[in-house]
Amino acid sequence: MARKVKNRSLDTREARSKLKPNPNKPYYVAVERGVHLGYRRLKGRAGTWCERRYEGGGKYVVDSFATANDLSDADGAAILDYWQAVDAVRMRRAERAQGLAGIPTTPFTIDDAMNFYCGGLEQVGREGAADDVRSKYDVWFKAKLGKQEAGKVSTQEFEKLIAAMAKSPARVRVKRGEKPAFRNGDDSDEGVRKRRASAKRNWTVLKAALNASWRAGKIASDSTWKRVKTFEGVDGQRIDFFSVAEARRLINACEPDFRKTVQAALLTGGRWGAIAALTVEDFNSDAGNVRFTTRKGKGVVKIFYCHLSKEGIDFFHSACAGKGRKDRIFLRADGAPWKKSDQIRPFAAAVAKAKIGRPMGFHHARHTWASLSIMSGASLLVIAKNLGHTDTRMVERHYGHLVPSYERAEIQKHAPVFGIDTRNIVAMG
């Protein structure tokens, strides 16, 4: 990793404002051997950044390349802060080295960054995640950013695109290759919040791709997208879930083969992919748990155990009856294994048939298990472990609003009682 070039006289606008103006004599700091970043202090206007490089024989070449952020915020392109200027000098040096070595200096584009990132996901067996990332990228970013050089898109351009996404109506799921379709706009407070939250999630996809390329040395600086500000307070929505009565109607409304997967989700809080992949040997009747396997992050396989209620143990005993240890527990009616998106249409049909009255997806079964368990008094840590989280942060974020009533009941049940008589109390004069 390149060393951090600190300079107390240049690295903040406040420090630079104390320097004596001298347009003909820049203030320099060494960035690499034979390469310096220079700052020209100008009177009454913003200073400029320049590069000084040694070319041998006692000869130096000085080139100005950007305005300093003395009077305006840095944009990562025309106006740079100190650290962006340091990165720019290093990038210019690398481009010259490539030219001398005969290496093509074709710009590394946003498209290239996305292909690099998705290729990494596929190498660790996360083809589904790569497809999902490409789908989001193709809809929201490719047309406007794809051909631009990755390290030179300004912070303001990123933020402008995020704002535009937040104003776009929600997408309707279509088949691969079909033209994107959108729902009617929802201008309610909740509708605005949802679109902003969606825009923020889409941005994290692109940001992850850019970070991966930057860490691999394919982009000289991460300063432009690192400074991007997204919407605050849009992720704290209250999660919807089925009541016990609604869950029972939902189960009865499902087709027989699909019904078992819904029952498993309601009894474990498991995700669709993990439930569809369960085999008989994942159920341990003696320990009263099921073993879930997930593949997230960098493709690392994570195994965790979900402890079952008595009803859950009885259900899995029945579901595993007559099957071999390596057999899938849940199969379609035709004997084929469930695939990634097989739950979408049958679940929507069951929700409609059960007259739930609001849009719900398979993941709401997970929310239902967690919400009802917390409301029944289960601790956040136990819920987190059963859901496969390493700590309680995600549970607190999504279900924390359900805890106060339980806490109140626990205090009223267990707080000390001192026998204090509050009758006929007269205030002292």
Bridging pattern class, strands 289-296 and 283-284 = antiparallel
11 burial type by CB count under 10 A (0-12 exposed, 13-18 middle, 19+ buried): middle
Cα 2–chain centre separation: 28
Q: Supply the CATH classification number for the domain 244-413.
A: 1.10.443.10
- Cα separation, 201 vs 196, in Å, equals 9
Query: What would the 3-class secondary structure string for the chain be?
Result: CCCCCCCCCCCCHHHHHCCCCCCCCCEEEEEECCEEEEEECCCCCCCEEEEEEECCCCCEEEEEEEEECCCCCCCCCCEECHHHHHHHHHHHHHHHHHHHCCCCCCCCEHHHHHHHHHHHHHHCCCHHHHHHHHHHHHHHCHHHHCCCEHHHCCHHHHHHHHHHHHHCCCEECCCCCCCCEECCCCCCHHHHHHHHHHHHHHHHHHHHHHHHHHHCCCCCCCHHHHCCCCCCCCCCCCCCCCCHHHHHHHHHHCCHHHHHHHHHHHHHCCCHHHHHCCEHHHEECCCCEEEEEEEECCCEEEEEEEECCHHHHHHHHHHHCCCCCCCECCECCCCCECCCCCCHHHHHHHHHHCCCCCCCCCHHHHHHHHHHHHHCCCCHHHHHHHHCCCCCHHHHHHHHHHHHHHHHHHHHHHCCCCCCCCCCCCCCC
Q: What is the pLDDT of residue 127?
A: 81
Residue 263 · residue 390 · CB < 8 Å: no
Q: How far is CA 33 from CA 3, 55, 278, in A?
A: 12, 11, 58
Cα distance between residue 403 and residue 396, in whole Å: 9
Per-residue pLDDT of the chain in tens (429 residues, 90 and over written 9): 456 778 889 989 999 999 999 888 999 999 988 899 999 999 989 999 999 998 888 888 998 988 999 998 887 777 889 988 998 888 888 777 766 655 555 788 999 999 999 888 887 777 878 888 898 899 889 999 999 998 888 889 999 999 998 888 776 666 666 666 666 667 787 788 888 888 898 999 999 999 988 888 788 778 889 889 888 776 655 678 999 999 999 999 999 999 999 999 999 999 999 999 999 999 999 999 999 988 765 556 789 999 999 999 999 999 999 999 999 999 999 999 999 889 999 999 999 999 999 889 999 999 999 888 888 878 888 888 888 887 777 777 667 666 565 566 666 777 787 777 656 555 555
Question: What is d(CA 338, CA 324) in angstroms, rounded to the nearest whole number?
Answer: 18
Write the class of the CATH domain 13-100.
alpha beta
- Rounded-to-integer distance, Cα 5 and Cα 330, Å: 58
Structure token digits, residue 319: 């579901």
CB 223 within 8 A of CB 84: yes
Q: Compute the distance between CA of residue 172 and CA of residue 183 in angstroms, rounded to an integer.
A: 6
Question: Which residues fall within 8 angstroms of residue 422, CB to CB, at 6 or more apart?
Answer: none
- Whose CA is closest to 88, among 103, 75, 97, 77? 77
Which of 376, 378, 358, 399 has its CA nearest to residue 307?
378
CA atoms of 383 and 369, how far apart (whole Å)? 9
C-alpha to C-alpha distance for 393 and 381, rounded to whole angstroms: 9
Between helix 110-123 and helix 127-140 the angle, nearest 10°, is: 160
pTM score, whole prediction: 0.56
Burial state string for 284-295 with b = 16 or more CB within 10 A and e = fewer than 16: eeeebbbbbebb
Per-residue confidence (pLDDT) for residue 49, from 0 to 100: 94
Domain range list for the chain: 13-100, 110-226, 244-413
In whole angstroms, give the CA distance from residue 207 to residue 20.
40
Over its C-alpha atoms, the chain yields an Rg (Å, rounded) of: 29
Decide if 349 contacts 362 (C-beta within 8 A).
no
